[in-house]
Amino acid sequence: MKKYKYPFILSIILLIAGTSSCEKDDLCDPSLSVTPRLIIKFTDIGNPDESKTVEQLQIREIGFTGFAPLNSEGSTLLTAVDSIAIPLRTDSNNTSYEFFLDDDDGTNIDSIDFNYNLDEIYINRACGFKVVYNELSAIKLPEPAGEEWIINIQVVTPEVTSNNDIHIEIRH
């Protein structure tokens, strides 16, 4: 019995020392450290309280060839979608996107400039910093009348601080 006493006591001491050495700042909760995405909801122009799906949607940042991820899984093409989550640039106060709508009439492209102020927030030692976006505005770039599919843009929440709020409504 005596030969098992010392390893048992040693393991208890190591367990206590190991768990007591971690501090709250040593762990990073992923929900705190993620830079939020811009949440866009598509609504009916005739009845803005109702969601309206977009049949096939792709988005590309102006000046780039690759399409942007539209959800947390990284999909670049969504079908029958009424909301999306897109990234905003963290190195600039502006992100410009082209919205590609594919339907029975073909492909229609509308462009939107998103302007904002960047703010870095310190989370803790383990997480570091995350970026939030303040004073969000959205401007639809002009195009010939009758060719647009996006009719109106409304900023719902001008502070992009989480992935839980709708920030922009696109009415079509």
| Model confidence, pTM | 0.82
Binning pLDDT at 50, 70 and 90, where does residue 51 land?
very high
Rounded to an integer, what distance in angstroms lies between the CA atom of residue 141 and that of residue 99? 11
CA 56 to chain centre: 20
List pLDDT tens digits, range 109-167.
Answer: 999 999 999 999 998 888 889 999 999 999 999 988 778 999 999 999 999 999 999 99
* DSSP per-residue codes, 37-82: PEEEEEE-SS-TTSB--EEEEEEEETT-SSBPP-STT--S-EEEES
**Cα dist from 85 to 105, 146, 154, 169, whole Å:** 26, 27, 16, 12
List pLDDT tens digits, range 69-106.
Answer: 988 788 999 999 999 999 999 999 999 999 999 988 78
* Max Cα–Cα distance, the chain, nearest Å: 90
